[in-house]
Structure formats: C-alpha cells, structure tokens
Amino acid sequence: PLFQSGIELFVNRLDSVESVLPYEYTAFDFCQAEGKKRPSENLGQVLFGERIEPSPYRFTFKKTETCKSVCTKTYDTTKPEDKQKLDFLKKSMLLNYQHHWIVDNMPVTWCYDVEDGQRFCNPGFPIGCYITEDGRPKDACVINSEFHEKDTFYIFNHVDIKIYYHVVENEALGARLVAAKLEPKSYKHTHPDNPDCSGVPMDISNKANGEVKIAYTYSVSFHEEKKIRWASRWDYILESMPHTHIQWFSIMNSLVIVLFLSGMVAMIMLRTLHKDIARYNQMDSTEDAQEEFGWKLVHGDIFRPPRKGMLLSVFLGSGTQILIMTFVTLFFACLGFLSPANRGALMTCAVVLWVLLGTPAGYVAARFYKSFGGEKWKTNVLLTSFLCPGIVFADFFIMNLILWGEGSSAAIPFGTLVAILALWFCISVPLTFIGAYFGFKKNAIEHPVRTNQIPRQIPEQSFYTKPLPGIIMGGILPFGCIFIQLFFILNSIWSHQMYYMFGFLFLVFIILVITCSEATILLCYFHLCAEDYHWQWRSFLTSGFTAVYFLIYAIHYFFSKLQITGTASTILYFGYTMIMVLIFFLFTG
C-alpha cells in the first residue's frame, strides 16, 4: 500500500547476453542519484553480482509528467577521460548491455511483439544499439526505421514509463502498484534545458569528434488496472517466458525411463532370488551345495576394501552434503519461499544449508572409511572438510580475480569473501568434526560374509562388463532424464531469463535420484555375475559419469546458443561450469 505518494525507482546492475561481465549502474556515465543510500542486500544477491542502487528518477503517484529532464551529459572527445567514458558507453551498446530498473520490487519491463503474435516482456531494456558499417541494424535497432545512419550508435536517452495500479476497495489506504512498463526512445534534444521529446533520434557516430551532448529525459503516466491482483502481478512476465508444455513431454519421457529401469531391477531381483530359493529348497545331498555360479562365487571377495578408499569415503561424505542441500532447497522453492520476487533467496538458502550440513558429511565419510578398514581418521576428517569445498572455493576465487580485474559488479567485495570463509571455517568445519566423531565412535558396518585371505582371480571380461564401457553407459540414462530441464536452467543463468518452474525441477530431481540408483544397481549386478567384484568405485562412477555428459552439453550450449565474446567472459563461463560439474558429479555419485 502506498502511504506516501513518492515512488522511487531503483536501478540494478547492467548485464549482457554477449558478455558474462555485469557492471554497476555507477560504472556508466548515466545520471546519478545524489547522496541517497543503497538498499541492503542479502548473500545470494552479492554472490550473483546484483547491485541495486537508488536512481535519479522519482515520480509522484498519479502525477503525469511528459518529457521531464533528468540531466545532460557533455563529452568533449579531445579530453582523454571524456573519450574513455564515451568509448565505454559505445562498447556496452555494441555488446547490447541491458538496464534493469525496479519499481516497488517489480522489474520495469519492456513489452514488444515477437513472431506469431506473441508478446514478449523483457525485464530489462538496452542502453542503445548500433548500425553496422554496411547498414545492418543490430539488436534493438530494428524497432525504428529512423535508425539508419551507417556505423552509428543510437542511445535510448528517453523512456516512456507507464505505471499500472490497482485500487484496493475495502481498505481506505488507496492503491498498489501491479505493473511498470516502459518504452525506450531516442531523441536528439535540440534545447536540452527545455526538451520537447520529438524530432530525430540521438545518434553518436562512431567516428564523431568534437562535443557530444546527451540529454536524459523521461515521461511517466499512471493507469488504473482493475484485473490484475497484487498477488499475481508477476504473472505477465512469467507467461511470456519459454513455455511449459515441453516440460510435461520431458517428464513423461523421464518417467518411461524410470519405469523401464524399475521393471528390469524388479525382474532381476525376483527371477534370481526365486531361482536361488527354489534351488536351496531342493538341496538333498551335500554335493549340490558345491556347484555355485555367477555372483555366488565372489562372496569371499565382495567386501574387500577398495583401492583409494580414503578418497571414495571423502567423495561420499561431500556428496551426501550436496544431496541433502539440493533436496531441502528445492523443497522450499516448491513451497514458494524462494520465488523470483525474493531476490537472491535461492542462493542464500543453498549456501546456508550447505554450511549447516557439515555433520552428515563428516558422519558418512567416517562411517565408510572405518568400514574400509582405514586407520588415518584425522586425514579423513580434514579431507572431508577441505578437499571438495576447497576446489570449489579456489575456482570461485580465481573467477573473482578475473571479474575484479575487469571492474565488474559481479566481483565479490573483500568483506563478503571473508564472511564466506568464516562460515566455512567457523561453522562448517567444526560441524564436520562433530559428525566424524560420531561416525568413528560407532562400530564399523557389519558384513554378512567373511572376506577371504587370498584375492580371487578375475576371469576375462566381455566388452560390456569391462569397467569403462559400463561406466560410460551408466551416465546416459540419468542424463536423458534431465537434459531438457538443463536447457532452461542454463538459460536462466546465462541468458538472464527467470527460472520459476521449481515444481518441475523437484520432480526431475526425484526422477534423477531413482534413475541413478537403478542404473547403478543393474550394471553392478551384471558385472558381479561376470565375477568381477570391484564394485565400490564403479558404482560411484557409473552414475557420476552423468556429470561428464553435463560438461559436454554445457560446451555444446556455449557454442550453439550463446553469443559470448571476449576471453574473460569465456574463461568465466567455463570456470563457473566446472564448479557446477564438480558439484553435480559428487551429487550423482
């Protein structure tokens, strides 16, 4: 409810699909807000490089303004600092950087018609656009036929803002804002002090010398909108996003895979167990008991500790931590606590949960390490606390250095880095130690059969039961379940679209867990039948190999879907992808 009639407009960082580097509003030479303080931000927003700042645009409720001047910027290209500012503006128009403005926690959207009669609402709008030397309009320049000068930039220095409100009848308090839309325009104001917002567009020739004057103006109008409820005011943005009917198709597809696998597992369990029980019931004489076959032959070796048992137990601990974290985060997201209106909530939730889940990680790692007959428990605890988080943090730190070198807003301030390290060292690590203490105090997992002294000879394996082909096959099925969701998730990270289909994602998550388990059980059964008893690492890597397919898909997505240019952006894309792949590997394994 609006008690006060003043409406503030906030500006978020500017980003571009062609470059991974976001920049703050203040990095550009736009009109600045004088001496207002910034709204506070949560951890997730800082990690994702959102920087929300006050803007010089201020409106009064129901007071229409036309062509109001905000400020005028003058660039003298003979002065080096002015030329540098203008060049930065030109470069960002060339890369199609987008403004993101916020009114009352709603994105100000720019809605336009796309093909087949759909309306697309973009939660941002470009700074400007460029016409190439051969007269081809790039990006947003297609919206106006007056943009036709070759090798010229057109800056959108005027915005027509429409604010829609909903009058609340039963309360005397008045109105609520339900939508804010704008149209970017470009005008060369002949009298910047007394602008009239008409005439030719504001062009900046690429080779222009002398003085360039850019006057920034705006118009605002208020419209009553009776149909939109305040609670559903985000819907019009989400409706114009890529559609959900593909989703149902992919879910059905995944469910068929799951049914198929479950059928196979059930059949094998029932058939073999039924046969065995029948055979044991028919045992009259003792000589029958000696004729064992298949997986019965390896009972004396099945619980032989695996090579590199330390590393496996550490991976299992970290994987458990990530599994529970993902489950709880998605569960909350499904209940609607982490909607796009709650900026940064998803990331904050995930990080905090990860920190608090140190205990299960320590417990699982210790429990497995003890059952593998390990003695070096101190090394085990330290590795569980530091190995996987350390790799992720190191990668993140290097990415941060690159962002910082480029002057991007996504570079995390030093204070936040210290805060994350403090969370890790002061909360996560002690919790891991507590978990490990309980894990080591419990008795080792009891094995139902004794392990022989002398390892058994493994017979010659067929192609399908050799380790590598089995592992490579194992990753295909789980990946088939998720790859359509993956497309939408990568879009929301790199193409700046909102992701809101948490219900679907939760369903896919459950399907992925089932598929990974069943595919592993099947393949494990097949190679035990072939008398190969090294199952521990193979069962981890069989479903963990899904992460390799994820990496291949991310590389394909980079080359086919993204128009990312520049070395820094490419390094950042692959740096962040590697973090996701590692987390996904531990999770599926």
DSSP labels, 80-146: HHHHHHHHHHHHHHHTT-EE-EEETTEE-BEEEE-STT-EEEES-EESEEEE-TTSPBPGGGGG-TT
For CA atoms 70, 139, 20, 86, the dihedral sign is negative
pLDDT for residue 288? 52
What is the full DSSP assignment across 427-479?
A: IIHHHHHHHHHHHHHSPPPPPSSPPPSSPPPPPPPPGGGSHHHHHHHHHHHHH
Measured CA to CA, the distance from residue 563 to residue 559 in angstroms comes to 8
Looking only at the bridges linking them, the beta strands covering 158-167 and 211-224 are parallel
Of 158-172, 419-433, 451-465, where does the model show the most confidence?
A: 419-433
User: pLDDT-derived band of residue 2, with 50, 70 and 90 as boundaries?
Assistant: very low
Residue 293: what pLDDT? Answer: 67
In the beta sheet, which residues pair with residue 218?
Answer: 68, 159
pLDDT confidence bin for 34, thresholds 50/70/90: confident
Which of 91-95, 136-140, 273-277, 303-307 shows the lowest mean pLDDT across its residues? 273-277
Single-letter code of the amino acid located at 233: R
Tens digit of each residue's pLDDT (9 = 90 or more) over 81-138 = 999 999 999 999 999 999 999 998 899 999 988 877 778 888 999 999 999 999 889 8
User: Would the pLDDT of 499 be above 50?
Assistant: yes
What is the reported pLDDT for 426?
96
The secondary structure of 193-253, three-state, reads CCCCCCCCCCEEECCCCCEEEEEEEEEEEEEECCCCCCCCCCHHHHHCCCCCHHHHHHHHH
- Please state the rounded mean pLDDT for residues 435-460: 89
With the C-alpha atoms ordered 343, 347, 350, 356, is the resulting torsion angle positive or negative? negative
What is the pLDDT at residue 287?
A: 52
The pLDDT of 210-226, averaged and rounded, is 91
Kindly indicate the confidence band of residue 292, based on its pLDDT and cuts at 50, 70 and 90: low
**Hey, what amino acid is at 222?**
F
Q: Which residues, in sequence order, are CB contacts of 302 under 8 Å at separation 6+?
A: 449, 451, 528, 533, 535
Mean per-residue pLDDT, 208-223: 90
Vertex 455: Cα angle to 452 and 458 (nearest 5): 130
Q: What is the pLDDT of residue 421?
A: 94
pLDDT of residue 554: 96
Residues 175-182 have a mean pLDDT of: 91
Q: What is the mean pLDDT of residues 408-419?
A: 90
pLDDT at 285 exceeding the cut of 60:
no
pTM of the predicted model, to two decimals?
0.88
Distance (Å, whole) CA 180 – CA 425: 44
Q: pLDDT, tens digit, for every residue of 503-525? A: 888 988 998 999 899 889 888 98
The highest-confidence range among 233-242, 360-369, 370-379, 436-445, by mean pLDDT, is: 360-369
What is the DSSP-derived secondary structure letter of residue 27?
A: G
Angle at 554 between CA 553 and CA 558, to 5 degrees: 115
- pLDDT category of residue 530 using cuts at 50, 70 and 90: confident
Percent of the chain clearing pLDDT 70 (strictly above):
95
Instruction: List pLDDT tens digits, range 318-343.
Output: 999 999 999 999 999 999 888 777 88
Q: At residue 444, what are phi and psi to the nearest 5 degrees? A: -60, 155
Q: Quick: pLDDT tens for 479-492.
A: 988 887 888 889 88
**Phi, psi angle pair for 186, to nearest 5°:** -130, 120
Q: Count how many residues are written for the chain.
A: 589
Given CA atoms 368, 374, 375, 377 in this order, what sign does their dihedral have?
negative
DSSP type of residue 564: -
Instruction: Enumerate helices (H) and strands (E) in the chain, giving the number of each.
Output: 16, 15
Cα separation, 382 vs 425, in Å, equals: 11
Among the listed residues 454, 428, 276, 438, the one whose alpha carbon sits nearest the alpha carbon of residue 357: 428
Examine the pLDDT at 36 and tell me if it is beyond 80. Answer: no
Q: What's the pLDDT score for residue 1? A: 45
Residue 565 has pLDDT above 50, yes or no: yes
Q: Is the pLDDT of residue 3 over 60?
A: no
Q: What is the distance between the alpha carbons of residues 531 and 294, in angstroms, rounded to a whole number?
A: 6
3-state SS, residue 557: helix
Angular region, 22: left φ>0, alpha ψ -120 to 50, beta rest = beta
What's the confidence (pLDDT) of residue 206? 87
What pLDDT, on the 0 to 100 scale, is given for residue 217? 94
